[in-house]
Chains A and B, each alone.
Chain A
């Protein structure tokens, strides 16, 4: 269960950030921001390979004491970042992958909506619901 989920656009501006509010959102925003550097690093590292071969799932970006940050980038350079509580060690890699997959799917659904302009903050309720299912169920 994620503690914070963020969708960042190609220009590194946030499209959607949602975190469990109990632990101070600013901290998560900062974490997500710094994780973008790691994402860029990983993307550029695979620059030689063709886009098809590049793995979308970036894996663990960096761990800290309290939590781990996972990254996923799409072919259009839209980044998904999931911050997971470190105490929640039962989460396996596959689960993280499935979370990213769901995120990606609902993101493409949002994109499909002609009323959505790319670059706008994501206000889709469906997307929200998907994210809610993945978030830690906190009040």
Chain B
């Protein structure tokens, strides 16, 4: 692509600045020049339309540049046309004279094909830099991410193509800062994904599809804000603009980027206050296709507290460094001030205490088994330095500089102490799982304590309740127990409390029916005594029948008394009113027929049975009646409780199944 003389071939000699040359050459390449240098008319037309100039202006441009005369766009005509379009966009008339001076680059909007066409150029230019561009083949996520990146790739890609030769030496730090000064602009503006547009690298790294949508929004927003800036003529101007617009160096994390990092952090670890394990972070960052030594260096920079895990600010730092590196920034030797985790404190970092409580086990994961003892040994060895350093650990948030020696020592000591208290607030599932799987002698004790504590808390409450409800005793004991269980279980689940709440009424009833029965018994006893004299033969029979009927009647009376009480209690509970109601009906229906018979038979029979041992028999019979009544009550209770138990079991099964469904999602 001859740039200097290109304009000359068009018949008019126009001087192009370097940037213009680059831009135009890029656009020229975009328009699919064939072997003779003619440009595809369709592409040129698209480009012209993208310049958002009125059609009349475009016609003028075509005419002036000589393409109309020639019938095609050669290189020279194309360049002249571009320059004319730039002039037109600035507002100058479309004349050859207007293109003689310095003009900003023309703006082309919304050319998707342009973008896609440019990308095939990239692999060829970037293959020379394998260490950075390993992920170029992963182009699938690229188009969706790049679609919103409208203006940026236009100019930046031109620059990229022009810059690609300097990049081929690649890693050499001295060259890259000069070469990539243009990138802070892009890096800062568009968040992580629009950086994709520059390199096409990050898409391969950000393999999670959801990422593409969110950063693209950022890029859209940002691009709408700064449409004009895209076509600054000089690289220096770009840098200045970037600094003016964002007033920061590339190591500062913008809000959009921070949001993005937050989402990424959440995808790895739902709790923002918790830590990402080293291996998890390793797998995640390895997706970025950066070479391992670089990732190692990034880790060293970002893991400020050297615990083998990343807190949220550390994660943001690491992520940002990776993003910067992907865009060609050399890795700094030390952590820039703006990337220090303690830097952005007001809005973002809210959990210094949790940082002080990294679980020791994470540290142990990375170390050899003996390294654990190493820490112990080192702690023992450095007794003197510990007290001084413990104070430093509190100020860890402030002293973010990588001074290893002061921090190293207290960490293993502080961690087990603090971990016990803070383990629970930290994400329990992941940490517990990790800790259980990789416990070391020291840390194991505290984890087992925690686990034991947690487990111990749960079991005590359930067992007493069923025992209380199902314990067998006399009515008085039942009263006590049911009252206790009712009180104890009211704070607990409804169904169980419904059970226990329903219990008190029935035991209260048995004392009464004997009274009623005594009432009925006494008049009946008189009659029965008479009858007993008359018919001694029927004494036993009548006695038995009397007891049965009395028990039935007692049962009936208990049932009569039970429903109102059960209703009242169950209205409070509101959980198992139906069953007792149903139960009410049955006994009522059952007892409907006997009651009619009982008065008669009771009256007749009691007379006959009464006389010989009145008091003793009465007592015995009362006792028997009581027992039978309690038996009946208890059997009824038992059946109802079992039904409720079935219901609870069913609920529990459904909950457990739901928990099982949720658990694999939470633990990843």
Contacts and interface: CB of A to CB of B under 8 A. Distances in A.
B297 A114 contact: no
A31 interface: no
B378 A113 contact: no
B314 to A, nearest CB: 12
Interface residues of A, number: 32
Contacts of B296: 113, 115-116, 123-124
Nearest to A124: B300
A104 B308 contact: no
Contacts of B400: none
B587 to A, nearest CB: 71
Contacts of B368: 10, 76, 111, 118
Contacts of A116: 296
A92 interface: no
Contacts of A101: 378, 381-382, 405
A104 B378 contact: yes
A111 B303 CA distance: 12
B300 A125 contact: yes
B295 interface: yes
A98 B296 CA distance: 26
A55 B306 CA distance: 25
Interface stretch (B151-159, B278-286, B623-631): B278-286
B300 A52 contact: no
A106 interface: yes
B282 A75 contact: no
B402 A56 contact: no
A45 to B, nearest CB: 17
B380 A52 contact: yes
Contacts of B300: 109-110, 113, 124-126
Contact of A76 (B279, B295, B307, B367): B367
B308 A114 contact: yes
Nearest to B310: A114
Nearest to B290: A115
A12 interface: no
B282 A124 contact: no
B371 A111 contact: yes
B374 A74 contact: yes
A19 B513 CA distance: 102
A91 interface: no
A23 B257 CA distance: 51
B229 interface: no
Given A52-B373, A124-B297, A112 B366 contact: yes
B374 A76 contact: yes
A10 B371 CA distance: 12
A102 B409 CA distance: 11
A124 B377 CA distance: 24
B371 A114 contact: no
Contacts of A16: none
B278 A76 contact: no
Contacts of B279: 114
A129 B370 CA distance: 26
B308 A105 contact: no
B381 A114 contact: no
A108 interface: yes
Contacts of A111: 366-368, 371
A125 B366 contact: no
A74 B367 contact: no
Contacts of A74: 370-371, 374, 377
Contacts of B91: none
Contacts of B308: 112-114
B370 A75 contact: yes
A114 B375 contact: no
A104 to B, nearest CB: 6
B373 A102 contact: no
Nearest to A106: B404
A76 B299 contact: no
A42 B307 CA distance: 31
B309 to A, nearest CB: 9
Contacts of B458: none
Interface in A82-139: 101-102, 104-106, 108-116, 118, 123-126, 129-130
Interface in A65-90: 74-77
B405 A56 contact: no
Nearest to B282: A114
B293 interface: yes
Contacts of A114: 278-279, 281-282, 299, 308, 366
A104 B381 CA distance: 12
B408 interface: yes
B333 to A, nearest CB: 7
A75 B372 CA distance: 8
A46 B375 CA distance: 19
Contact of A112 (B292, B297, B306, B376): B306
Nearest to A130: B404
A109 to B, nearest CB: 5
B333 A76 contact: no
Which has the most chain B C-beta neighbours within 10 Å: A102, A106, A109?
A109
Nearest to A9: B368
A100 B370 CA distance: 18
B292 A115 contact: yes
Q: Which 8 A-B pairs have the closest CB atoms?
A: A76-B370, A114-B278, A75-B373, A114-B282, A112-B308, A115-B296, A75-B374, A105-B408
Given A52-B377, A104-B378, 4 more contacts: A101-B378, A108-B408, A112-B307, A114-B299
Interface of A: 10, 51-52, 54-57, 74-77, 101-102, 104-106, 108-116, 118, 123-126, 129-130
11 contacts: A56-B377, A76-B368, A101-B381, A105-B378, A105-B408, A108-B306, A109-B300, A114-B308, A124-B297, A125-B300, A125-B333
Interface of B: 278-279, 281-282, 292-293, 295-297, 299-300, 303, 306-308, 333, 363, 366-378, 380-382, 402, 404-405, 408-409
